[in-house]
Amino acid sequence: MKRITALALALLCLLPLPAHAAPAQVTAPSAILMEKTTGKVLYEQDAETQYEPASVTKVMTLLLVMEAIDSGSLGWDDMVTASTHAISMGGSQIWLKENEQMTVRDMVKAVTVVSANDCAVALAEHIAGSEDAFVERMNQRARELGMNHTTFVNCTGLPTPGHLTCAYDIARMSRELILNHPAIREYTTIWMDTLRDGTFQLSNTNRLIFYYEGATGLKTGFTDTALYCLSATAERDGMELIAVVMHAPTSNDRFESCKALLNYGFANYAITPVYPEAIPPVEVILGGQDTVQPVTARECSILLEKAKAGTVTTQMELAPQVEAPVEAGQKLGELRVLVDGRQVDAIDLIAPQEVPRLSIGGIFKRFLDTLFLQEG
């Protein structure tokens, strides 16, 4: 009996520990929570089921706009002209008139704050020549990001057969936007603003911007068939999270579901910096200096469950010596970061500057110096 009991206890120890209690307030059928820097999924619920994304589609539209700006092919002050097609969109809009011109800056503001369909199409046409050509780029970018459950048919999210994605894919494109194009935050955090010299009022469709601490964006969506969707981002203590919900039955459900996801993430996880212990110098053979002091190749911060804060350890492996010349950036060793005994990261230890090799004369001089020191 004792053996059976011991065996049972041993098997229990091998079972995974229970995860944190899931956010009970997530009433949307499909949801996901992702950390920006690592892309790690902290919580998911039916996150790969396809739904219509409504205007959350515009996350990809904005991503391509920001990529064009950052590449230099599009400027913030470039003038965009509204076409007949652009002004015919309906739905959320700022009522562009045909041939009306507006800067890229103001159109991006209109898309992010009030989800303007007319501005989204005008930007798409300006960048790619037509909305269809822009949508081809959207789908190509989706494939590059591994959005395997996504097909875009337009750049607005207006109801169209076959226009589908999932919560996981939305989180991926949202992460790409906020991680690599932080300037978008200037627009996604606007609560109220104006266009057309103050004559047209804007009020953000994402009410989390107004009342959720640390909210940074990102995009709402609603149609009769998509129901209520939201990609919500927020940052606290250096950690930014992405919460996505799809097909929520009411507007309040989408906001409360995302709020619950974000609260769950901030309560249970943190970005924790890791500092190595004192790193000893490495001997340099035949070098212009006797040693080189290794440094970490990059800063190290890890996404950590707060409950495991005391289990972070490091292991260091260094070459005992290297032969000159030593190049700046040359790898001298490695710092391994472990959480609860399991490796979660590894950072190269490198030479911060070059160490030239001694010349023949230099070698002879060092030999003489050593000899005289020994005699003394």
**CA dist., res. 238 & res. 199, Å (int):** 37
**CA dist., res. 330 & res. 323, Å (int):** 12
- Is 36 catalytic? The answer is no
Q: Where are the beta strands (DSSP E) in 128-259?
A: 192-195, 200-203, 215-223, 227-236, 239-248
Decide if 54 contacts 218 (C-beta within 8 A): no
The one catalytic residue in 30, 83, 92, 115 is 115
Helices and strands: H and E segment counts in the chain = 11, 18
> Does the CA dihedral 352-350-348-315 come out positive or negative?
negative
C-alpha distances in angstroms, 73 versus 10, 13, 120, 253, 258? 62, 57, 17, 40, 35
**CA dist., res. 365 & res. 184, Å (int):** 60
- Is 55 catalytic? The answer is yes
Decide if 315 contacts 335 (C-beta within 8 A): yes
The one catalytic residue in 55, 92, 174, 231 is 55
**CA dist., res. 71 & res. 327, Å (int):** 32
The one catalytic residue in 58, 109, 219, 259 is 58
- Is 115 catalytic? The answer is yes
Residues forming a β-bridge with 321: 283
Q: Which residue has the tokens 């459950």?
A: 149
Instruction: Give the single-character DSSP code of 44.
Output: E
**CA dist., res. 244 & res. 255, Å (int):** 10
Q: Which positions are catalytic? A: 55, 58, 115
